[in-house]
Amino acid sequence: MRQKLLKTILLFFLLAGSYVVGFAQDWQTDFQKTKQLAAAENKTIILVFAGSDWCAPCMKLEKEIWQSDEFKAFAKDHYILYKADFPRKKTNQLDDEQIERNKELAAQYNKRGYFPFVAVVDKNGKVLGETGYKKMSPKQYIDHLESFIN
């Protein structure tokens, strides 16, 4: 009886884990690899500049859009995601190499230093459109991003 219960619990966690993995996002951290992936998979790049631990609109965008199941499902088939994060708290600091990569991207794509800043970029690195946080449903935000592509 006890063994059957343990097997049932184990099966539950395995299935729950595979469900979570199915909706996990794969945010890239190397822009050259991001462009290579976009070219190989014929997808558009969503380049996000965020201050994950200090920028209130960035946190709203994360919670309301990027973490939504609707966006995750759509992004999986249509986008390569790159997040250039600029945290301020010591506990959230990135390694020096990542900080430098993010600064280089900001110098190229976010010259005005807006946060959050979202650039819709093609596989060659050309900006198709720019936006930021907007109070929209995930579906409306996807349509907004897609308007730069179509």
Beta strands in the chain (DSSP E): 27-28, 44-50, 79-85, 117-121, 127-131
Question: What is the rounded average pLDDT for all residues in the chain?
Answer: 89
- Interval 112-124: pLDDT, tens: 999 999 999 999 9
* Alpha-carbon distances of 13 from 3, 6, 82, 118, rounded to whole Å: 15, 11, 30, 35
What domains can be seen in the chain, in order of their start residue?
Answer: 25-149 (3.40.30.10)
> Which letter, b or e, does each residue of 10-48 get, where b requires 16 or more Cβ atoms within 10 Å of its Cβ?
eeeeeeeeeeeeeeeeeebbebeebbebbeeeebbbbbb
DSSP 8-state secondary structure symbol assigned to residue 115: S
**Does residue 134 have a pLDDT over 90?**
yes
For 52-94, what is each residue's pLDDT tens digit?
Answer: 999 999 999 999 999 999 999 999 999 999 999 999 999 999 9
